[in-house]
Structure 1
């Protein structure tokens, strides 16, 4: 992840959700387990919707806020996205899929929490609050849906 400004960070967040959506779709096509395939397709659709939501925030954000530097945090606390390549064997289980997705969302939530504490203008605080709330709400929604799949 290379992000030097809030704008870069928002772009990266949007692109990350898009990447998750594409990789989940690829993996779903290779799944031999029906529940895993259905979960991956649901998560892919959800991540694609998040990609669009983040783009909407970006479009209406204050341009001055988007230009704020965030390089120090990103350098010291890079967000890692692991295990996103398509599952070549089609054997991922629901728990593995969930852990991968929640790890990404947890890192994004941590990033936005940190930035909220460092935001020095009301416009920037509002933008970060909105993005943090979006990530938190969607992570909770995903957790609920994943639990429903596990219970089935």
Structure 2
């Protein structure tokens, strides 16, 4: 579709409007970052360890000083399956760090996380986070800002004493 046709679709898409909206959203992101920083700062250093069902929180861990202890599913894909050795290594890491909360994606079944808990013979809570995509309007993560707030609250609650 030629550009002149696209510009006729909405009269709101002009440089001034875009600049204003971008500045407003940047402000919302800054507020979100401040909220996340405050909630995460309350978590004691010895409890700042994350175990997830796969490696998706590296950036969050770097930004907010968490240690990613491990992932139930190795590698960067949910199609991978952990070997017995992978699970054993993760059990050792969970035991040595005292992790008692494992975070699983809401889009993935927590069967492997439950297997980890059974293998470790420990009691761990499994807390679901939103990572793969947003939800519908009533699903808990209808937009990025809400998704990050919900995940932050769940991580903070799961790692707090």
Give the TM-score normalised by the residue count of structure 2: 0.30
Structure number with the higher helix fraction is: 1
Which one has more relative contact order, counting CA pairs under 8 Å at least 6 apart? Answer: 1
- The structure number with the bigger radius of gyration is 2
Looking at secondary structure, tell me which structure has more strand per residue.
Answer: 2
